[in-house]
Structure 1
Amino acid sequence: MRFNHSAALWQTFPELRAGALHATGIDADVDVEAAITSFGAIAEARLAGAKEGEFPEIQAWRRGFSRMGLKPTQYRSASEALLRRFRQEHALPRLHPLVDLCNAVSLAFAIPIAVFDVEKIAGDLEVRPATGDETYLTFGGDIEHPEPNEVIFADGAARAHARRWTNRQSGLSAVRQTTRSVLIVAEALHASAEADVGRLVATLGDQLARAWPAAPKAALLSAASPRFEF
């Protein structure tokens, strides 16, 4: 399988930097609470000095959403939404150890992270502008069609696994108790994105190797090296 961003997206967002990891042997019978607490403490300390909307990582995504024609405070990136909830509630709901871990890392780095069940993806996965013909399954079970030119994660069967780029993931490929193989994607647009995404991928890769038996395969993506094969 292959994951990549389209050439059109790199042309529109040359500042984009991304990281991808593929992990297998995933199960829900692990304890990652210590790591979650540690990453949460990093986020708490940063939020004590400023609200998430002042973070350069979040401001960059707001500008990106504006360039896509979206109202940035109506459609928030996943990392901003998580930080906002965490600031208000000082905790996040527990869903699955892997999702909970990725959410905690996202909080600490203020960078959105998506986690996909690989077995639910048909063919390759590409982040690209939508044609408007793709189908998207909500968590409530409804079928939607992305707007033309909306940035989506699209597979070979024209199914959208995320809408509005880092805003809303599909229920189709969400991690569940039966998930065993996952693709994890982190994306950033801010000035130090290359270094920060590199640190995030290394940090998350280490945590995955500690919690699950198989070491993940990982790559850093840019316009010069846009593809991840796994």
Structure 2
Amino acid sequence: MYFQHSPRLRAEHPTLVAGVLYAEGVHGEPRTELPLADLLGRARQRLAGGTEAGFPEIQAWRRAFARMGLAPTKYRCAAESLLRRLRTSGDLPRVHPLVDLGNAVSAAYAIPVGILDVARCGGGIEVRHARGDERYLTLGGVEEQPDPAEVIFADPLGRAHARRWTNRQSGWSAVRDDTATILVVVEAMHDSAARDVPRLLDTLAEQLHRGWGASSRTTLLTPATPGWRVDVAAGSGVGATGSDVG
């Protein structure tokens, strides 16, 4: 299993700070209550001082979307959508314990968090510009085709696991009841992202250990080490293209 950003994408977004977390043994219900209320409470406290549109984390993604030719108020990064829903409805819907945890952590840090089922990723993911012949599956089961040059999470089988970068995740690798091994992708572009992304990964790793007894490997991706690789069959850990920070 691998994860990487294409050289072109890195060149177009030089402020990108990305991290990945790999964890096995996260099947079933958590053995203890997750701190969702505390995490969402942090987000609510911050929203009390102003809407999510003013957060530096969200503003950075809005600028990135504008550079990609996307209207920032029509296509929002996942973290902005979560914060907007939390602000307007007062809570986030419960979907699955892993997804609920990822959403709460994303809202608390105002940073997009994507959780992928490793068994359904086709062997690897590259964040790159679409050719236009890839296939995307919505969470509702409808198949779409990304636009040429749109930023997607692409696997070697020609499937897109996310559209418009951090806007919309796919049903191909969405967490299910039988999900046991996950890859979590965290991406940010604001000024303090180099500090905030590792902190977010540490928070998530701590809660995965608390809830499922899972040991996580976290890796910070940089222009010098833009990719991560793991031997899934052997569970041997981060490979030569990764930089282990956890």
* Aligned partner of residue 141 in structure 1, secondary structure: coil
Q: SS in structure 2 opposite 1:185?
A: strand
| 2:35 alignment partner, SS class | helix
CA contact (8 A) 1:28 1:98 kept: no
The answer for the alignment partner of 2:79 in structure 1 is: 79
Residue by residue over 1:69-122, the C-alpha shift from the partner in whole angstroms, topping out at 9 and shown as x without a partner, is 000000000000000000111211111111100100001000000001111111
1:89 is aligned to 2:89: yes
Contact 1:122–1:156 (CA<8 Å) still a contact in 2?
yes
Change (3 A) 1:196 1:24: same
What TM-score, normalized to structure 1?
Answer: 0.97
The alpha-carbon deviation at position 32 of structure 1 amounts to: 6.0
| Amino acid in the other structure paired with 1:215 | S
The SS at the match of 2:210 is helix
In the alignment, which residue of structure 2 is the partner of 1:103? 103
What secondary structure sits across from 1:94 in the alignment? coil
Aligned residues: CA RMSD? 1.1
Deviation at 1:18, TM superposition (A): 0.7
User: What do residues 29-81 of structure 1 show as CA deviations (whole Å, max 9, x unaligned)?
Assistant: 11665410110111011000010000000000000000000000000000000
Matched, 1:157 2:157: yes
Amino acid at match of 2:80: E
1:225 paired residue number: 225
Q: Which runs of 5+ in 1 are unaligned?
A: none
The one-letter amino acid of 1:190's match is H
Classify the secondary structure of the residue corresponding to 2:4. Answer: strand
Give the alignment's TM-score, normalised by structure 2.
0.91
Measured after TM superposition, the shift of residue 123 of structure 1 is: 2.0
CA distance in 2, matches of 1:118, 1:88: 33
Report sequence identity in percent.
54
Write the distance in 1 (CA, Å) between the matches of 2:183 and 2:32: 19
Q: CA deviation at 1:19?
A: 0.9
Provide the residue aligned with 2:185 in structure 1: 185
Alignment of 1:204-215 (within 5 A): 204-215=204-215
TM-superposition CA deviations, 1:154-196 (whole Å, max 9, x none): 0010100000000000011110101111110010011111111
Partner amino acid for 1:117? D
Q: How many residues align?
A: 230
Shifted more, 108-117 versus 29-38: the winner is: 29-38
Q: Which residue of 1 aligns with 2:174?
A: 174
Does residue 3 (structure 1) correspond to residue 3 (structure 2)? The answer is yes
C-alpha spacing 1:175/1:34, structure 2 compared with 1 (3 Å):
closer
Q: Which amino acid counterpart does residue 60 of structure 2 have in structure 1? A: A
**Aligned partners of 1:28 and 1:96 also within 8 Å:** no
Give the distance between the partners of 1:29 and 1:200, measured in 2 at CA: 22
CA distance in 1, matches of 2:184, 2:7: 21
Distance 1:32 1:225, change over 3 A: farther
- Look up the equivalent residue of 2:38 and give its one-letter code: S
Q: In the TM superposition, what are the counterparts of 1:101-140 in structure 2 within 5 Å?
A: 101-140=101-140
> Moved runs in structure 1, 4+ residues, more than 2 A?
31-34
Q: Any stretches of 5+ residues in structure 2 without a counterpart?
A: 231-246
Structure having greater relative contact order (Cα 8 Å, sep ≥ 6) = 1
CA separation in 1, counterparts of 2:54 and 2:142? 35
Which one is further off, 157-166 or 23-32? 23-32
